Structure 1
C-alpha cells in the first residue's frame, strides 16, 4: 500500500500520505490504474496533472466514476474552468455538485448577467467558502433587487429547479 500511494505522487512525509493510504487500501493495482485512467479521460488531464491532483486530494480515487464524470462536465463545460486549473485545485471535485457547485455557479452567473455583481473572482474561492459566508456575501446584499433570490437559491441547494 505504501509503494502504491507513493506511485500516485504522494510523498511519504506529506500530510496527505495517510489519505493516500486510505484511498488505495483494499484496491488492486488494476482498479487504481483504471480509476486514474478514467480521471485522465474525464478531465483531459496529463499524467502530471493527475499526479498533481492526487497528491493534493488522494481520496478522489474513492469517488464514483459517475460523480467524477458529472463534476468534470459541469466544471469544464458549464463553468468554463480549464482542466489544469481543476488539477491544481482538486478540492473542487470533492464538493457536492447539486448542493454546492451548481447552485453557487448559477447564483453568481445570474447576478453577473443582471449587472448586480462584477464577477472577476475565482470560482475556487466561491465554491470553497462556507455556506454562511456565501449567503452573506452573494445572496443577502441582493435580496432587495431580486425579490426571491434567497428562496430560489435555497431551493437550488435542495436540488429543486426554480421555475424562474
Structure 2
C-alpha cells in the first residue's frame, strides 16, 4: 500500500511500480499523478529515463526544465534518443538556440510524438513560406497558442491556407492570422465555413479586418455568438447595427457577454452617452474595464468636480489614448498631479 496525505493507492492498482517510484523520487510527482503517468511508460529500471535526461542536458536543458517537461509530457522518458534528438537537431539547424528548444518543447511537447519527415518538417516549411524567415517560424513554434505541430494535419493546414488565398486574403494577412491564432489553420472545415459566413455579411477578404473577423468568429460556436448579439439587442441595437459595427471593429463580438454588458452600462447609464458613439469608438468594448476605463473615469470625474475640465472635454477618445498621453494631458499637467496619480493607480 502506497499512501500520500489522506489518499492511498493499493499495490494491485500499480502496473509499473518502478515507474511510479521513479517519477515520484526523481521528478516530484505525487503518487496519484505518477500512477497516471506510469500508464504511458514501460521502463523497469533507471537506465532508459536517465539516458533521456542526460540527452536533454547535452542540449542545454537544466534539471528544472526537464522536470517541467516530464511533468507535462511523461511519455518523453520512454522515447528513443534518436526520436528526441532528431527533432532537436532539426530545430537547431533552423537557428533555434538551446533556450528556444526548451521553450518549444515546454509549450508543445507533443511535437516529440510526431514524425519528423511527414509532419514536423512539412508544417515548418508551410509556416516559413508564410513568414519568410526561420526566426519568425521558430517564434511561432515557441508560442503557447500554437498546436499545429501537436495535433493538426499537414493537409488541413495546407487546405486552410489555400482557402484563404483563393478568397483573396493577402499573404501578409494570412501570416498575421498565423502569428495571432495559429491553431485556426488546423481546422480547415471550420475556417472554410467562417470565410463563407463573413463574405455573406459583406466582408472584403482583402481587408485587414477580415483576419480579425475570422479570429473572432472561429473562436466561438453559434450559441455563444447568438448570446452576444442578444446582449447588444437588449441595449437597443438592431442586428443591422450590430453587424455594421462588427464590420468596422470585429473585436466588439470577441469579448465576453459580461464585458459587453459592463461597458454598455457604463457608457449609456453612467456617462449618458448615446449608442451613436460606438461606430467611431467601437474599440472601447475591448478595452480593459478594470485597468483602463475605471481608472481614467475616476481621474476625469475628479477633474470635473474640481472644475479643472469641462464636461465637453470628457469624450470617448480619452479611453483610446496611450497611458503616457493620458497621464500627460489629464494628470501630470495639474498642480494636484500627485493626488490624481494616486487615484489613478489605486483604481488599477
Unaligned runs of 5+ in 2: 1-193
- Equivalent position of 2:212 in the other structure: 19
- Deviation track 1:52-99 (CA, whole Å, cap 9, x = no partner) reads 210122123231111111111111111111112124421011111111
Task: Give the whole-Å Cα distance in 1 for the aligned partners of 2:346 and 2:224.
Answer: 38
Instruction: Tell me by how many angstroms 1:122 deviates.
Output: 5.5
What are the within-5 Å matches in structure 2 for residues 4-153 of structure 1?
A: 4-41=197-234, 43-121=235-313, 123-142=315-334, 144-145=335-336, 148-153=339-344
Larger RCO (CA under 8 A, 6+ residues apart)? 1
Instruction: Tell me by how many angstroms 1:48 deviates.
Output: 2.5
TM-score, length-scaled by structure 1: 0.83
Contact kept, 8 Å, 1:5 with 1:20, in 2: the verdict is: yes
Instruction: Tell me by how many angstroms 1:108 deviates.
Output: 1.2
TM-score, length-scaled by structure 2: 0.41
Task: Give the whole-Å Cα distance in 1 for the aligned partners of 2:340 and 2:300.
Answer: 11
Task: Give the whole-Å Cα distance in 1 for the aligned partners of 2:223 and 2:276.
Answer: 25
Unaligned runs of 5+ in 1: 159-164
Contact kept, 8 Å, 1:112 with 1:118, in 2: the verdict is: yes
Count residues in correspondence.
155
Contact kept, 8 Å, 1:104 with 1:127, in 2: the verdict is: yes
Task: Give the whole-Å Cα distance in 2 for the aligned partners of 1:147 and 1:58.
Answer: 38
